[in-house]
Amino acid sequence: MKNKGQSASQRAMSTTGYAYAFLLILQTILIGVNAENRIQQGDSPIEVLIWMINQCIPVLKEASSLQEKQKKSLLPKHRRSEDQ
């Protein structure tokens, strides 16, 4: 059951947030699969770990950015104008 106090834009943001979360999780899983393939091909685990860290940094930055956008969208309108 949908929350009656929730506006259409908040519900859309929530749906968009779930979609972004799913895509970020999928991207992280694919990084792990690629890392496993690299290890099987003979790369050293340390090299693969460094590669994984470098691949995950943009994912973490994107997740953080989306979290900040979501926080700002949930603030009351008068609070949003004060933050800018």
Residue 10 lies inside a defined structural domain of this protein: no
> Does the pTM of the predicted model rise above 0.85?
no
pLDDT tens, residue by residue, 23-65: 889 999 999 999 999 999 999 999 999 999 999 898 888 888 8
Burial class (CB in 10 A: 0-12, 13-18, 19+), 52: middle
Residue 49 lies inside a defined structural domain of this protein: yes
Residue 69 lies inside a defined structural domain of this protein: yes
50: containing domain: 43-73
Residue 18 lies inside a defined structural domain of this protein: no
Residue 55 lies inside a defined structural domain of this protein: yes
Q: How many angstroms separate the CA atoms of 4 and 50, rounded?
A: 47
pLDDT for the residue 47? 96
Residue 63 lies inside a defined structural domain of this protein: yes
**Cβ–Cβ < 8 Å for 14, 73:** no
Q: Domain count of the chain?
A: 1
